């Protein structure tokens, strides 16, 4: 990978807009998945390697945070950041940024490497783990988005 972070730029398709005239939940997820699919290909988790190595990544948990609307046909960019890996699990976040620089949304996810036939978690092949570790190191200087590690709850107010 080069010095610049991997990213994908998009113009939203009207298919993904809802009655509120902004990108719907499925639309956000669609663009996050499109970005991560392309990024995983670059990291060596492409279709051919899945069949060659017999393993693939499955999503375990994700957290989407909506911070600003994506409306009309305004362009935006999705940029992934790998945060940590333990050989089976990968923790990453994808940031969606509008053309004006506004952070519109993030998708934080834990994925797990799974044997394609048994559908059970297994260790990643050493070459894939090395690529991920190198990418985590390469991205270490980048600021961590403020949404990483957020929990979901309604804040409790003190009784008057």
- Digit-coded pLDDT (tens) for 18-27: 999 899 999 9
Residue 137 and residue 83 in contact, taking contact as beta carbons nearer than 8 Å: no
- The one-character DSSP state at 23 is B
**Residue 147 lies inside a defined structural domain of this protein:** no
Domain with residue 93: its CATH number is 3.10.129.10
Asked if pLDDT for residue 160 goes beyond 80, the answer is no
* Digit-coded pLDDT (tens) for 75-93: 999 999 999 999 999 999 9
* The pTM of the whole model exceeds 0.75: yes
Q: Is residue 34 in a domain? A: yes
Residue range 105-124, pLDDT digits in tens: 999 999 999 998 999 999 99
Q: Does residue 59 sit within a domain?
A: yes
Q: Which of 151, 141, 21, 158 is CA-nearest to residue 81?
A: 141
Mean pLDDT in residue range 38-53: 91
Residue 57 is assigned to a structural domain of this protein: yes
Quote the domain boundaries for residue 121.
14-139
Query: How far apart are alpha carbons 11 and 95 in whole angstroms?
Result: 15
The burial of 12, by beta-carbon neighbours within 10 Å (0-12 exposed, 13-18 middle, 19 or more buried), is given as: buried
CA distances from 98 to 16, 73, 84 (A): 16, 11, 26
Residue 50 has pLDDT above 90, yes or no: no
51 assigned to some structural domain: yes
Backbone torsions φ then ψ of 28, nearest 5 degrees: -55, -50
Residue 40 or 4, more confident? 40
Inside any domain, residue 120: yes
The answer to the question of residue 80 being in a domain is yes
Residues recorded for the chain: 160
């Amino acid at each position: 990978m080069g010095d610049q972070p991997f990213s994908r730029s998009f113009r939203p398709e009207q298919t993904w807009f809802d009655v509120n005239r902004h990108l719907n939940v499925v639309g956000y997820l669609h663009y996050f998945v499109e970005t991560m699919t392309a990024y995983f290909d670059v990291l060596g988790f492409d279709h051919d390697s899945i069949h060659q190595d017999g393993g693939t990544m499955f999503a375990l948990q994700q957290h989407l945070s909506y911070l600003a609307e994506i409306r009309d046909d305004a362009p935006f960019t999705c940029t992934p950041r790998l945060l940590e890996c333990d050989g089976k699990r990968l923790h990453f976040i994808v940031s969606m940024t509008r053309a004006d620089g506004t952070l519109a949304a993030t998708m934080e996810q834990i994925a797990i490497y799974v044997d394609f036939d048994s559908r059970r978690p297994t260790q990643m092949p050493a070459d894939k783990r090395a690529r991920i570790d190198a990418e985590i190191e390469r991205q270490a200087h980048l600021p961590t988005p403020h949404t990483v590690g957020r929990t979901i709850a309604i804040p409790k107010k003190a009784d008057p």
